[in-house]
């Protein structure tokens, strides 16, 4: 049985994918992602964001670059864009609601 944290981070991961799908160059850094996710009412620390985007990388939904020791840049993959749009389902990422 999933707990609240599991549901919460499934939503965070979907939100990250949606943000990246809309970002210029389909890419942004972990600091911007953290601020954007928090602005959407999902509480997430920068450390938690890094853990979640590393998980997304393991699932081949994003690629990561680490230009400095304190900054991680995430770029959505084609597979990640399919999940963000609801065309594909990955366990551990909230499935988006159907569009109206």
The ranges assigned to domains in the chain are 7-84
Q: What is the domain class of 7-84 according to CATH?
A: mainly alpha
pLDDT tier at 98, thresholds 50, 70, 90: confident
Plot region of 6 (φ>0 → left; ψ -120 to 50 → alpha; else → beta): alpha
Structure-model confidence comparison of residues 5 and 57, the more confident one: 57
Q: Residue 95 above 80 pLDDT?
A: yes
Strands, E assignment, 6-91: 27-29, 62-68, 71-76
pTM, two decimal places: 0.94
Q: Residue 28 above 50 pLDDT?
A: yes
Confidence at residue 100, expressed as pLDDT on a 0 to 100 scale: 44
Per-position b or e across 70-84, b if 16+ CB within 10 A of its CB: eebbbbbbebbbbbb
């Amino acid at each position: 049985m999933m707990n609240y944290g599991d549901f919460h981070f499934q939503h965070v991961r979907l939100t990250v994918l949606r943000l990246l799908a809309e970002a210029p160059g389909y890419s942004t850094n972990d600091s911007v992602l953290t601020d954007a996710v928090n602005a959407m009412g999902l509480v997430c620390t920068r450390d938690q964001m890094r853990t979640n985007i590393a998980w997304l990388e393991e699932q081949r939904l994003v690629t990561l670059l680490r230009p400095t020791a304190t900054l991680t840049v995430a770029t959505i993959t084609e597979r990640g864009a399919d999940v963000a749009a609801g065309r594909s389902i990955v366990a551990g990422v909230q499935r988006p609601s159907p569009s109206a």
